[in-house]
Structure 1
C-alpha cells in the first residue's frame, strides 16, 4: 500500500482528541496574553498610563516569554510535553489573575513579565506534542488547526471582554479571565497523551500508521540532521527562520495588540461592547485564512509561498490603510485583509523546522525560533506606542510594521529552503468518524 493510500485508510481519532484539547488550552493562554489590549484603554484614572507605557505593558510579556522557550521544548521532548504544559498552565493562570490586583505601572509590568515566563514554554512544547502525532503530510494542517485558537480566541473574547468591561471593573475582567486554565488543566491531564503508544482511546491501526510513518520520515532526513543541539542552533534554515519570525511577529503583535485602540478611534470612542464586536470581525477572517492556506500548503508542499505571499498582502493593506482615509467600512475591510495575512502563515511556517532536523534536536530549534522571534512581540507594540507619543499619530508606527512584514517575506523567498515536501495524498483532517 502506498503512503497516500495508507494515509487515506488510517483512522483519524487524533484529529478529534489532540487538536481540540490543545486548541482550547492555548486559546486560554492567548486570551490572558492579549486581553491587555482591550482592557488598558479603559483603566482610566485608576491606573493612568501613557501610550508608550501601554505598549510596554503589552511588550514586556515577551521579555519573560524568552526564558522558558528552549528549556520548555527540551523538557517536552526528553520528559513529557503533557506534564510540562500542565505545570505551566497552572502557573500562568495565577499570573494572569495577578494582573487584576496591581496598583501601579511597575506592578503591572512585573505581572505581565511573570505571565510571559510561564507561558513561554507552552508553544514549543505543544509543537513537540503535535510532531509526535501528525506526519509531515499533515503537519501544516495540524499546526494551523491548533493555532486557529489564536483568532478564534479573539472572535470569542473580544465581544465578551467588551461586555465584561461594561458590566464590571477592569480588575475583575483580568481575574475572571485568568481562572479557566485551572479548570482546563483537568481536561488536559486526562485527554492528552505524549504519543500514540500512551493513548487509551487510539486504535491499533491508527497507532501503527502514525508511529510507522513518523519513523520512516525520521530515517529519510539528512544524516547531518542527526547531530547535536549545537548543530541545530547553527543551522542556516533555523537562523533564517528566526529572522523571518522576528520581523513577522513585530508586525503581527504591533497590529493585533493595537487593533482595539484603532477600532475605538474609528468608532468615535465607541462603547466597550461595540469595540469588542468590531474587533472580532478581522479575527474571524483570519481563522478562515489560516485553515485555507495550511490546506494548500500541505497539498502542494510549497511552504515558502504559503508564508511569503500572505505577509506581502498584509503589508500592502497596512500601507493602504495609513495612506488613505476611507470610510469606516473601508478601514474595517483593510483590517480584515491585514489580519488574514499575518495569521495565514502559522501552519506552514512551523512545519518547516521538522523537515530539516530530526525529532531529538528539533526541540531546541523550535525554542530558539520562538524565543528570539518573539522579541518582535516586544518591539512591535512598543515601537507603535513610542512613535504614537512622538508624532501624535499611529501612522508612522504602522508604516514601519509594514516594512518589517515585507522584510520577512523577502527573507523567506530569497533565503529559506525547506527540505522535502509532504508525501502524496494527505489524510483528510476533517474525517473524524473513521474506524476505531
Structure 2
C-alpha cells in the first residue's frame, strides 16, 4: 500500500503506508477483546434464567454500571498516553481488564455482580483515549477519520463475531464459564501488543525512513495549521465551547447507542419467540455487519469532503426514524430490517466524530479533551440501558424505552446542528472541495 499522488500535481515518490497494515489491525483486535465485555453481557442477560434474581431494571443496571467505572481513568490514561507512553498504558490496562473479566464469572450475589462490572469498566475506561492518542501520532488529520473508523470498526465487528460465539458457548456452558473463558484472550494479546506497537513512527522497527519522514512532516504541518484558539494547555481544552458541545453530543448519542445495543439481543429473542442462544447470537450479528460497512463508508466520505458535522448528524436522524418505526411496525422481517438500519445509524458517526477534537486542538491539549469527552459522554452508557430496563418493567413494553432513546438521539442532532456550526471553531470544507496540500505536506493514504 502506498500513498496517492500529490493532488497539486507536483512530482513525488510513492510513500510506503505500512502503518495501515501494522498499527490499525493490532489496535482493532485489542479493542475488539475489550468491547467483548459489553456485547457478551447483552447476550448473557436474557439467559440467566433467574440466577442472581435479576429484574429487567437490575439487568439494565448490570449493563450500565460498567460505564460508571468507565469514567475514572479516562483523563488520567489520556494524559499518561500523551506524556509517557500509549503503548505501556494500554498494556497495563489490558492485563488488568482481562483478569477482571475472568473473575466476574465467579460472583455469587447481585451486589458482587454489580461490583465486578464496575471494576471491569474502571480498567477498560482508559483504553479508548489512549489509543486515540496513539493514532494521532501515526495518522495525519487528512487520514484521521478513516484511521479512527478502521480501528473503531472493531466495535461492530466484535458484535458480528462474538455475539454468535457467546450464544454458542451459552448452549454448551454456564454463563459463568462464558465470562471466565472470554476474559483470557486479552492476556494473550497483551504479548502481541508489546512486541508490535510503538508510540511513534521513529520508534518502530518495521517502518521505513521514507514513511517516518512523511509522517513527521505531515503531523508537524497539521499542528502548525491549527488556530491559536485550539489552545496549548489542558485548561484551554476544557474551556472551549466546541469541546463542551462535543461532550453533550457524545452523552446523548451514547445514551441511545448503548440503550439500543444492550437490549438488541433481547429484542431479537422476542422476535424469534424465545430462540436458542446460538440462534439469537447469529441473528444479532446481522445488524452489526450492516453497521460495519456503513461506518467505514461514512468515514471515507467524511475525509473526502471534510463534512464532519453532516457525517455525525445525518446518520443520527436516520437512527431516530428507525427506532420509532421499529416500535410501530409488526412482523419479524420489517422489524429486523429496522434494527439493521438503527445499528448502522448509531455506529456511523464514530470515525468523523473522533476526528473533530484533533481539528480543534493541538496535540498537547487534545489528550485531556478526548479523555473528558469520552468520560462524561460514556455516562450515557449507564443511562441508556438502565432507562430501557426500568421503563420496560414499569410499562410492560419496550416501546416507551426506545422512544426515549430516540429523544436522546434527537438532542444530539440539535447540539451538532446548532453548536458545531462553521464559525464555532470547527473547520467544515464544502462537499467535493479539499484544500490542496502545501509543498511540505505529503499526500494521504488511499481510501
Aligned-residue offset at 1:413:
1.4
Aligned-residue offset at 1:98:
1.5
What corresponds to 1:162 in structure 2? Answer: 167
Are 1:346 and 2:354 matched, yes or no? Answer: no
**Of 102, 115, 123, which aligns to 1:118?**
123
**Of 32, 48, 63, which aligns to 1:43?**
48
2:281 & 2:231 partners in 1: Cα distance?
48
What corresponds to 1:296 in structure 2? Answer: 301
**Of 23, 30, 55, which aligns to 2:28?**
23
Structure 1: give runs of 5+ residues left out of the alignment.
Answer: 431-436
**Of 210, 213, 218, which aligns to 2:218?**
213
Aligned-residue offset at 1:46:
2.9
Aligned-residue offset at 1:224:
2.8
2:12 & 2:225 partners in 1: Cα distance?
18
2:435 & 2:35 partners in 1: Cα distance?
32
Structure 2: give runs of 5+ residues left out of the alignment.
Answer: 438-442
What corresponds to 2:287 in structure 1? Answer: 282
1:6 & 1:107 partners in 2: Cα distance?
64
**Of 93, 96, 99, which aligns to 1:94?**
99
Residues 3 and 423 of structure 1 are in contact (CA less than 8 Å); yes or no, is this contact kept in structure 2? no
Deviations 1:50-90 (A, max 9, x none): 00000000000000000000001000000000000000000
Aligned-residue offset at 1:29:
0.0
What corresponds to 2:261 in structure 1? Answer: 256
What corresponds to 1:317 in structure 2? Answer: 322
Residues 90 and 127 of structure 2 are in contact (CA less than 8 Å); yes or no, is this contact kept in structure 1? yes
What corresponds to 2:444 in structure 1? Answer: 427
Which stretch of the first structure deviates more once superposed, 45-54 or 289-298? 45-54
**Of 391, 394, 419, which aligns to 1:390?**
394
Aligned-residue offset at 1:6:
8.2
- TM-score, normalised to structure 2's length? 0.93
Seen in structure 2, the aligned counterparts of structure 1 residues 122 and 223 have a Cα distance that, compared at 3 Å, is same
Q: How many residues align?
A: 429
- TM-score, normalised to structure 1's length? 0.96
Seen in structure 2, the aligned counterparts of structure 1 residues 420 and 341 have a Cα distance that, compared at 3 Å, is closer
1:212 & 1:2 partners in 2: Cα distance?
15
1:348 & 1:34 partners in 2: Cα distance?
23
Seen in structure 2, the aligned counterparts of structure 1 residues 203 and 43 have a Cα distance that, compared at 3 Å, is same
2:149 & 2:165 partners in 1: Cα distance?
24
- Secondary structure of the equivalent of 1:257? helix
Are 1:410 and 2:414 matched, yes or no? Answer: yes
Are 1:34 and 2:39 matched, yes or no? Answer: yes
Which stretch of the first structure deviates more once superposed, 297-306 or 92-101? 92-101
Q: Which has the higher helix share?
A: 1
1:95 & 1:229 partners in 2: Cα distance?
31
Are 1:244 and 2:217 matched, yes or no? Answer: no
Deviations 1:308-360 (A, max 9, x none): 000000110000011222x2111110000000000000000000001010000
1:370 & 1:37 partners in 2: Cα distance?
21
1:45 & 1:246 partners in 2: Cα distance?
32
Residues 136 and 423 of structure 1 are in contact (CA less than 8 Å); yes or no, is this contact kept in structure 2? no
**Of 355, 372, 379, which aligns to 2:376?**
372
Q: Give the root-mean-square deviation of aligned CA atoms.
A: 1.5
What corresponds to 2:240 in structure 1? Answer: 235
Seen in structure 2, the aligned counterparts of structure 1 residues 317 and 230 have a Cα distance that, compared at 3 Å, is same
Are 1:135 and 2:135 matched, yes or no? Answer: no
1:171 & 1:8 partners in 2: Cα distance?
56
- Secondary structure of the equivalent of 1:194? coil
Aligned-residue offset at 1:11:
1.0
